[in-house]
Structure 1
Amino acid sequence: MAAKCFGTLSQMCCGGREGGRQSRIYLIRHGETVWNADRRIQGQLDIDINDTGMKQAQGVANALDQLGILRKIDAVASSDLQRASRTADIIAAACERSPPRSLDPQLREIGYGKLQGSQSDNEQSKLLQQSTFEAWINGDLSKGFPEGETGAEFFERIVQGLRDAARLGKAVVVVAHGGLIRWSAAQMASSHEEAKRLVKSPIVNCCCSTLVYDHDLDLFTAEEWFVDLQKAGGLKAKDDTG
């Protein structure tokens, strides 16, 4: 399954070759928006975080600081959509070394096309998402959303976006979106069953996943997925599309 559909992030063909220079990416989902709370599909519409999202962003910044991570950060990258960029700005402001900020449209959420703005639990919306994602998980990346992206278009840009972010330093914070993070996890899965499990796993706002990129092998591997660093702050996050 990994070679058929998800070989772009986890290159199974690398075999026993030794790696070299590495970068660690702290991949964080943006803070909550009003549309998250209302369970509306945001996709690539530019919705800002709400007050809860601001608190979540500060909470994850505090958690990363307590773990000693922020003092190591060389750069902070994010999607150019406000909900990601605002979250990233809050994290960057908490870093000791004032790391450079970059905005990258390659790190945007899935382009849901006509579904953007609709309720995520709308029956028609649910059926279209289910059929599209089922095709992707089974290797058919030609399927996409009306007036939105195909799987091939989506995966090509997010792999390049993560690769570009990794080139910014040895330790990089990347703030992106739920769909990007879920499907990155699926791409790195060791089996079809694991990929299906990861795609369906809860992923709360401002959760943190950790990836390692080997520059010589052009290979991403995962250390942790969807860690909720907000629990210590007592914040309750919404799980929804975008």
Structure 2
Amino acid sequence: MTDLQCAARLFVARHADATYESDLLSDDGGWLTSLGRDQARRLAEEVAPQRITRVWTSDLARAVQTGEIVAGVLGVDVVVRRGLRELGVGDAAGTSGEPDPLAATFAAWLDGDLDARVPGGESGHEIVERCRLVLEEVADAHRGESVLVVSHGGVMCLALPALARNLASGHARDLPLPNGGVVALEGDADGWVARSWVGTRLDDGRG
């Protein structure tokens, strides 16, 4: 991040409930269910008091649709970034996902081993880096402002603890993110700090 005089406040949310064209694993697809649309409207109500100035989303349809609903309620615009998309399934694309082909790699990431790689896909370091670049872009563009970022559960559980100085790598292990769940971050020249995780306030880690 550049020299931020005022912290940017990012409310990073998992997309709302979605359904998919196929039961087979894929890096694409997904659109909101009627429940998901209701969740997106509730998300808009939740973040409205924060005076959100813009919504940024991943390029996957389920995230874009969530962001568009929120933006419509709040009267702001939407920016799409590929770096916010969900963990790729690599060589498992087109398979049933039973047993979960990502489980061992994801567990290694939560244990702090970001060198671990999904076969045919990304390493933990690569995922964190692409997410970091977008979040820093957002922070640089919104000094002293509040922004909603719509992403995905897996990438949030991996990247946000890796970036925030007050979160351990395995923070999300027993704290799954529900659809519409929000993690509040602040970013300044000293880096990132998580202020809350799905409504639970967090210490800033400074001791």
Whether the aligned pair in 2 keeps the contact of 1:26 and 1:172 (CA below 8 Å) is yes
Q: In the alignment, what sits opposite 2:28?
A: 45
Higher helix share: 1
Aligned mates of 2:25, 2:11 — CA distance in 1: 23
1:147-204 deviation per Cα after TM superposition (whole angstroms, max 9, x unaligned): 221112111101111111222321111011001211134323647xx43242342211
For structure 1, the 5+ residue unaligned runs are: 1-8, 10-18, 229-242
Q: TM-score, normalised by structure 1?
A: 0.71
Secondary structure, counterpart of 2:102 in structure 1: helix
Is this contact kept in 2: 1:43–1:109, CA < 8 A? no
Coordinate RMSD, CA, aligned: 2.7
Q: Which residue of 2 aligns with 1:238?
A: none
**Secondary structure of the equivalent of 2:170?**
helix
Deviation at 1:131, TM superposition (A): 2.2
Residue 64 (structure 1) shift: 2.5
Residue 117 of structure 1 deviates from its aligned partner by 5.6
Q: Does 1:26 align with 2:11?
A: yes
Q: Pick from 37, 41, 44: which aligns with 1:54?
A: 37
Alignment of 1:123-134 (within 5 A): 123=99, 125=100, 128-134=101-107
Matches within 5 A, 1:152-231: 152-169=125-142, 170-187=145-162, 188=164, 190=166, 194-214=168-188, 216-217=189-190, 219-227=191-199
1:112 paired with 2:89, answer: yes
Q: CA 1:200–1:181 in structure 2 vs 1: closer, same or farther (change >3 Å)?
A: same
Task: Report SS of the residue matched to 2:198.
Answer: strand
Distance 1:144 1:154 in 2: 10
What's the TM-score, normalizing by structure 2? Answer: 0.82
Following the alignment from structure 2 to structure 1, what is the Cα–Cα distance between the partners of residues 94 and 198? 25
**Off by >6 Å, runs of 4+ in structure 1:** none
Structure 2 unaligned regions, length at least 5? 201-207
User: 1:75: Cα distance to partner?
Assistant: 1.3
Structure 2 CA distance for aligned equivalents of residues 186 and 43 of structure 1: 25
Which of residues 128, 140, 143 in structure 1 aligns to 2:116? Answer: 143
CA contact (8 A) 1:25 1:211 kept: yes
Whole-Å Cα distance in 2 between the matches of residues 79 and 118 of structure 1?
A: 24
1:93 to 68, 72, 83: 72
Q: What secondary structure sits across from 1:27 in the alignment?
A: strand
Hey, which of these two has a bigger chunk of strand by percent? 2
- Asked if 2 retains the 8 angstrom alpha-carbon contact of 1:31 and 1:206, the reply is yes
